[in-house]
Each structure stands twice: as structure tokens, then as C-alpha cells.
């Protein structure tokens, strides 16, 4: 029986401790933290009434606690009200005044206005053909007479540009490819294209291109680029190309 009374007494003491001023003070501190969070969210500007509600209630609760727990029935509801108002103020402020990402102002760039302007990019040399790796360039104007390996005089201007290019760009290798139209047998056309490729290559070497940069190949009629049924198409198919192989 005695043990039961002791146990009941302990329960009563513990229950009484549940609402001590110490606990209320701790809860008030938590509520003040909620007010600080609301202020951080700019509640003073965006939810002034709710924040004022929370702050005034917090002041009142602090007074009640300072009086030594005289009105316990008033203090706890006050602290609960502080917490609720502060959280509502924070939520409202975040909704009404969402924080924008900070504006990053770039560092000022010092421009030396007295310095001369940068030189303009060099204009492309009309006597040089611009070559890129793996590129295929049809040498416009390089033609042959029908069934002939002799270069026409109009072809020489284009081939001179190739000479200019390859003597300046000794770092690249090219394949000189010759093609025919479909007139005649395939075997004949293949041989003819090989001779035309060799003819173009010979011209380039004779005019100063390193033979190590060059490779000649005939494709015959196998790779037409236009219709062999028309005269204009056949003229286009009789052509010489430069295949940029790689950089040496």
C-alpha cells in the first residue's frame, strides 16, 4: 500500500513538472526563434499584422513568466499563439514576397581606349584554296577534252591555285581524283580517269608541289555527280577533285 502511495506521489510530482516556468520559458524561446525566422522572411514588410500579433503576444508571455508564473492558464495559450502567428507570418511573407536569387553584377572590364583596335582578320587570298581535313573539293574548271588526258588551257588557272595552296600548306596531303562520264566501257573509263589524275598530278609537281603531298587516283565512271543522260550532266561528271587526306 505504501509503495502505491509513493508511486502516486511521483506521478503527481512529474505531472506538476510538466507545466513549470522552466518548460514555458523554453517554449517561449522556441516561439521567439519562430519570430526570428518570420523576420528573416521579411514578415515585417509582407505580413506586418501577423508578426505584430506574434511579437506582442511574446512580450506579454515574457511578462507573465517574469511575474513568477502567476497566471499559468494565460501563459501557455499565449505562447501557443506566438508560435502559430509567427509561423503564419513566415508562410504569408514567403508567399507574398518570395526571395529572388541574388543579382550577380559582373566585374567591370577595364577597356584601354587609347590602345589601337585589333587588326581585322586577313582577307582570304583569291589565289589560295581554303582546305579543311577530310574535305572534298571539286576543282571547277579543270576539264579534259573527250577521250583525252590533255588539260584544257582553262584548267591551268585552277591548278595554279592548287599549286599556291599546297606550296604554302606543306602540312597537308591530298588525293587528286579524276572521274569520267559513262560514255564508253567501264574499264576504259577507269584507265582514262587514272591517266587524267596522273596528268593533273604531273602538272602540280612540275609547278613546285612536293610529290609526297600528292596521290593520284582514277575512279572511272563509278562516282557520277550528275545525270549522264544529258550533255551538261556528263560534262560535270568529267571532273577532277582534291580529297584532303590528313595533315602530315
Partner 1 sequence: MRRRLLIGVLLSCMLPLWHAQAEEAIDNAAASIIASVEGKNDFHAHMARKLAAIAIHERRDRDREDAREFINMASQHAEQAQGQEEQESP
Name the residues that contact partner 1, by CB under 8 A.
44-45, 48-49, 51-53, 55-57, 59-60, 63, 67
CA 38 to chain centre: 39
Q: Which helix H or strand E contains 178, and what residues bound it?
A: strand 172-179
Considering the complex, what minimum distance in angstroms separates the CB of residue 2 from partner 1? 44
Instruction: Supply 200's cell numbers.
Output: 593533273
Q: How far apart are CA 49 and CA 157, in angstroms?
A: 88
Looking at beta carbons only, is 68 or 108 nearer to partner 1? 68
Looking at beta carbons only, is 51 or 178 nearer to partner 1? 51
Instruction: Supply 55's cell numbers.
Output: 511579437
Considering the complex, what minimum distance in angstroms separates the CB of residue 48 from partner 1? 4
- In contact, 43 and 92? CB cutoff 8 Å: yes
Looking at beta carbons only, is 35 or 163 nearer to partner 1? 35
Considering the complex, what minimum distance in angstroms separates the CB of residue 27 from partner 1? 19
Q: Mutual orientation of helices 186-206 and 153-168 as an angle, nearest 10°?
A: 60
Considering the complex, what minimum distance in angstroms separates the CB of residue 67 from partner 1? 8
End-to-end CA distance of the chain: 107
Considering the complex, what minimum distance in angstroms separates the CB of residue 99 from partner 1? 19
Q: How far apart are CA 93 and CA 57, in angstroms?
A: 19
Looking at beta carbons only, is 39 or 239 nearer to partner 1? 39
Looking at beta carbons only, is 90 or 213 nearer to partner 1? 90
Q: How far apart are CA 175 and CA 131, in angstroms?
A: 13
Q: Mutual orientation of helices 72-96 and 21-40 as an angle, nearest 10°?
A: 20
CA geometry: angle at 155 spanning 150 and 159, to 5°?
105
Looking at beta carbons only, is 67 or 145 nearer to partner 1? 67
Q: Where are the beta strands (DSSP E) in 73-166?
A: 136-138
Considering the complex, what minimum distance in angstroms separates the CB of residue 79 from partner 1? 15
Amino acid at each position: 500500500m505504501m509503495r502505491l502511495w509513493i508511486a502516486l506521489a511521483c506521478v503527481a510530482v512529474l505531472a506538476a513538472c510538466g507545466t513549470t516556468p522552466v518548460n514555458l520559458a523554453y517554449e517561449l524561446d522556441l516561439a521567439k526563434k519562430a519570430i526570428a525566422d518570420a523576420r528573416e522572411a521579411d514578415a515585417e514588410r509582407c505580413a506586418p499584422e501577423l508578426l505584430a500579433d506574434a511579437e506582442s503576444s511574446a512580450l506579454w508571455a515574457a511578462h507573465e513568466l517574469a511575474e513568477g508564473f502567476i497566471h499559468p492558464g494565460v501563459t501557455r495559450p499565449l505562447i501557443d499563439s506566438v508560435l502559430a502567428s509567427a509561423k503564419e507570418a513566415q508562410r504569408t511573407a514567403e508567399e507574398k514576397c518570395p526571395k529572388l536569387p541574388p543579382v550577380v553584377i559582373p566585374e567591370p572590364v577595364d577597356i584601354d581606349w587609347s590602345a589601337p583596335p585589333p587588326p581585322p582578320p586577313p582577307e582570304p587570298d583569291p589565289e589560295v584554296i581554303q582546305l579543311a581535313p577530310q574535305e572534298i573539293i571539286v576543282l571547277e574548271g579543270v576539264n579534259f577534252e573527250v577521250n583525252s588526258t590533255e588539260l584544257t588551257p582553262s584548267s591551268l588557272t585552277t591548278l595554279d591555285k592548287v599549286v599556291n595552296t599546297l606550296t604554302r600548306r606543306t602540312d597537308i596531303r591530298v588525293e587528286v581524283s579524276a572521274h569520267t562520264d559513262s560514255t564508253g566501257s567501264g574499264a576504259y573509263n577507269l584507265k582514262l580517269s587514272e591517266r587524267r589524275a596522273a596528268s593533273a598530278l604531273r602538272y602540280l609537281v612540275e609547278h613546285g608541289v612536293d610529290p609526297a603531298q600528292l596521290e593520284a587516283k582514277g575512279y572511272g565512271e563509278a562516282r557520277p555527280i550528275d545525270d549522264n543522260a544529258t550533255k551538261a550532266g556528263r560534262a560535270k561528271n568529267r571532273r577532277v577533285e582534291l580529297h584532303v587526306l590528313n595533315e602530315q
